[in-house]
Chain A
Amino acid sequence: MNLKRTLRVETLLVALLVSVTTLVLMQILLNLHLAGHSLGDEILHINAASTQSANAVTSVVTYFRGLDTLGEVSILFLSIFGVALHMPRGSKNLFSYHNTLLYIGVSILFPLMLLFGVYVILHGHLSPGGGFQGGVIIAGAFLLRFLTYGDHYELKERVVSLSESLSGAGFIVLGLLGLLVGDRIFTQILPLGTLGELLSGGVIELIYIFVGLKVSAEISLLAEHFVKAHNV
């Protein structure tokens, strides 16, 4: 990088402006105290009674705003569909060199990342994280394998597409069951359990398992399509 040649006075001025703005925003953010009764307080107040989920963010995502999550999941599905349509999977991996350091590191890291992803998905209603986060961690583990093993590693197409479509269908069926049994889509249809235990939160846990399966399958498929793309 050659700063002397590329930097001009205008860019320096822009950089100065950006840094000053950042500092001012920081000052505002650090001194911000939200006063009074807000929507967040209200949600925290009714969360324990209606979901028995220790993580209020989770209950907002899956229970209070389940329909939005359905929209997000369908947007993700559409984007993967577009990638698969435009970039057909070739057999040649772009990263097909052998690197011993990467190989040993990934063979240690891969099972740990899988385990951590499953933990984050299953404990979505108790601790930070949830279906999307855990699914992305699992997909990252598979991405590391694609980068390491080169041509010798590929996903089983049938297993991935089956888990992706079944979990998507299960997610929607769960929402429609809420409409059928309860009063609205994505409402509680299961016993709530007690706050803080693994089997609590009712339908939240099931929704997050479905979302985690779907996201992990989709993002690993996306990574494989990118890494093994045909030469344009």
Chain B
Amino acid sequence: MIDFLILSILLSLLVASIMIVFSEDLSHSVITYMGFGLGSTLLYFLFSAPDVALTEAVIGAGISSTVYLVALLQTSVHES
């Protein structure tokens, strides 16, 4: 059961990372990156590292994606 859960989270992380790289709108990439942080938080928790999960929840899903969002707003470069 737990193996299946971990495997499905890993697969969704794979899909999310492919979406981050290949999406045409960069703001979609940032939002997907937040989802990626959430998934890796769950993964850290399942691998019994709750300390890292707490950090990843805030840094990965919150602060770093805000930094990317600010960079996007400041440069306003879009892929054509």
Contacts and interface: CB of A to CB of B under 8 A. Distances in A.
**A and B assemble together:** yes
Interface of A: 1-3, 6-7, 11, 15, 18-19, 22, 26, 30, 57, 94, 120, 128-130, 132-133, 136-137, 139-140, 143-144, 147, 219, 222-223, 226-227, 229, 231-232
A136 B63 CA distance: 9
Given A7-B22, A219-B63, A226 B55 contact: no
Q: Is the interface of B mostly helix, strand, loop or mixed?
A: helix
Interface residues on B, range: 20 to 34
Contact of A223 (B6, B10, B66, B75): B66
Nearest to A55: B51
Nearest to A2: B24
A170 B75 CA distance: 40
A43 B9 CA distance: 32
Nearest to A227: B70
A6 B62 CA distance: 29
Contacts of A231: 74
B66 A226 contact: yes
Given A26-B6, A94-B70, A143 B24 contact: no
11 contacts: A1-B28, A6-B22, A128-B50, A133-B51, A136-B55, A137-B54, A223-B63, A226-B67, A227-B66, A229-B70, A232-B75
Contacts of A3: 22
B50 A129 contact: yes
A136 B58 contact: yes
Nearest to A11: B22
A66 B6 CA distance: 34
B73 interface: yes
A223 B25 CA distance: 24
Contacts of A2: 24
Interface string B43-75: 000000011001100110011001100100111
A129 B58 contact: no
Interface string B1-36: 001001100110010001100111100100000000
Contact of B74 (A120, A136, A232): A232
Contacts of B66: 143, 147, 223, 226-227
Contacts of B18: 15
Contacts of B25: 1
